[in-house]
């Protein structure tokens, strides 16, 4: 059962893979779901509003945020790549979002951070939320910035944020790495719902993973959020092993939690 605690909820990045997966799932969380993305993704459906906005455009973001009660921020540049587009979408964009939230009195944000904030820890390590970031690229750096910025806006202005370090959210794990990092769409919705409904969120870092037997992350410091994953990558293990080769332990993508991101680049322009 989903507890409806907000009248109008904003979902950014609505045209992306996770935004598409969450579009119908989030409707029971609110009376009106406002959807936003940079590019046109079609008209609003029942119970929806659509407001297009480029996150780098402060005025457009301000208008996008006006009138909402809480924000689920999935928007931005979602892969490793050149710095400039990441700067515009993920650094300037997240600043614009929090400034708009401050100006319009929005007090709760679910911020889609990433496991790539800690991608240069080894796969043999188990991380807690208080361990220092070790980004594996420009994308991870931008998400670390977002976590720090959201902490500042909590300490200064009281805007509560859940920084959800999303692992690998797909219909099923694609490779052996994802047996540790997999997050089902339904568990992602359960996690966002927990962040929206917990009485006191504060500023929390939460690892976005399902109930996988193999894991690199501990959510012991986020038990106050009340997230209880129901799905597991374990049911896919035999199939994943059957279609993939044994890992090369000398490969940095196997040594480090960030996988292929640790080898991406360098980028020019």
For the segment 138-182, what is each residue's pLDDT rounded down to a tens digit?
999 999 999 999 999 999 999 999 999 999 999 999 999 999 999
- Catalytic residue ranges: 139
Instruction: Tell me whether residue 252 is in a domain.
Output: yes
CATH code, domain with 235: 3.40.50.720
How far is residue 108's CA from residue 101's CA, in Å, rounded to a whole number? 9
Instruction: Tell me whether residue 153 is in a domain.
Output: yes
- 49 pLDDT above the threshold of 60: yes
**Arithmetic mean of pLDDT, 28-57:** 97
Confidence at residue 91, expressed as pLDDT on a 0 to 100 scale: 98
pLDDT band at 2 (very low <50, low <70, confident <90, very high): confident
Q: What contacts 3, CB < 8 A, 6 or more positions away?
A: 193, 197
CB 227, CB 206: distance < 8 Å = yes
DSSP state of 245: P
Confidence at residue 162, expressed as pLDDT on a 0 to 100 scale: 98
- 3 pLDDT above the threshold of 90: no
Confidence at residue 269, expressed as pLDDT on a 0 to 100 scale: 54
Instruction: Tell me whether residue 140 is in a domain.
Output: yes
Instruction: Tell me whether residue 1 is in a domain.
Output: no
Strand partners of residue 163: 111, 205
Confidence at residue 228, expressed as pLDDT on a 0 to 100 scale: 97
Instruction: Tell me whether residue 223 is in a domain.
Output: yes
How far is residue 88's CA from residue 54's CA, in Å, rounded to a whole number? 9
Confidence at residue 111, expressed as pLDDT on a 0 to 100 scale: 98
In this prediction, what percent of the chain has a pLDDT beyond 70? 99
Total count of residues recorded for the chain: 269
- How many other β-carbons are positioned within 10 Å of the β-carbon of residue 151? 14
Q: How many domains does the chain have?
A: 1
Instruction: Tell me whether residue 173 is in a domain.
Output: yes
Instruction: Please tell me whether residue 52 adopts helix, strand or coil conformation.
Output: coil
> 183-227, pLDDT tens digit by residue?
999 999 999 999 999 999 999 999 999 999 999 999 999 999 999
Give me the domain span that covers residue 36: 6-263
How far is residue 191's CA from residue 128's CA, in Å, rounded to a whole number? 17
**Arithmetic mean of pLDDT, 133-138:** 98
Instruction: Tell me whether residue 159 is in a domain.
Output: yes
Instruction: Tell me whether residue 77 is in a domain.
Output: yes
Confidence at residue 136, expressed as pLDDT on a 0 to 100 scale: 98
Confidence at residue 1, expressed as pLDDT on a 0 to 100 scale: 63
Q: What contacts 144, CB < 8 A, 6 or more positions away?
A: 117, 133, 135
> 228-267, pLDDT tens digit by residue?
999 999 999 999 999 999 999 999 999 999 999 999 988 8
């Amino acid at each position: 059962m989903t507890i409806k605690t907000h009248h109008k909820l904003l979902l950014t990045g609505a045209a992306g893979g996770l935004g598409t997966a969450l579009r119908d799932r989030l409707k029971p969380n609110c009376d009106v779901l406002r959807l936003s993305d940079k590019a046109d993704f079609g008209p609003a459906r029942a119970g929806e509003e659509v407001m297009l906005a480029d996150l780098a455009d402060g005025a457009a973001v301000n208008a996008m945020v006006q009138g909402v009660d809480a924000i689920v921020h999935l928007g931005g540049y979602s892969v490793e790549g050149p710095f400039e587009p990441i700067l515009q979408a993920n650094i300037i964009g997240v600043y614009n979002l929090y400034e708009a939230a401050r100006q319009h009195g929005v007090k709760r944000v679910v911020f889609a951070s990433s496991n790539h904030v800690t991608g240069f820890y080894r796969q043999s390590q188990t991380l807690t939320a208080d361990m220092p970031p070790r980004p594996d690229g420009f994308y991870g750096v931008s998400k670390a910035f977002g976590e720090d910025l959201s902490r500042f806006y909590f300490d200064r202005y009281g805007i509560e944020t859940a920084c959800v370090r999303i692992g690998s959210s797909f219909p099923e794990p694609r490779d052996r790495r994802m047996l540790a990092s997999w997050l089902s769409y339904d568990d992602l919705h359960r996690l966002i719902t927990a962040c929206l409904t917990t009485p006191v969120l504060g500023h929390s870092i939460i690892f976005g993973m399902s109930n996988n037997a193999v894991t690199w992350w501990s959510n012991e410091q986020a038990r106050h959020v009340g997230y209880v994953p129901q799905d597991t990558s374990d049911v896919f293990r035999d199939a994943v092993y059957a279609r993939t080769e044994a890992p090369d332990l000398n490969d940095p993508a196997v040594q480090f939690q960030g996988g292929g991101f640790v080898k991406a680049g360098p980028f020019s322009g």
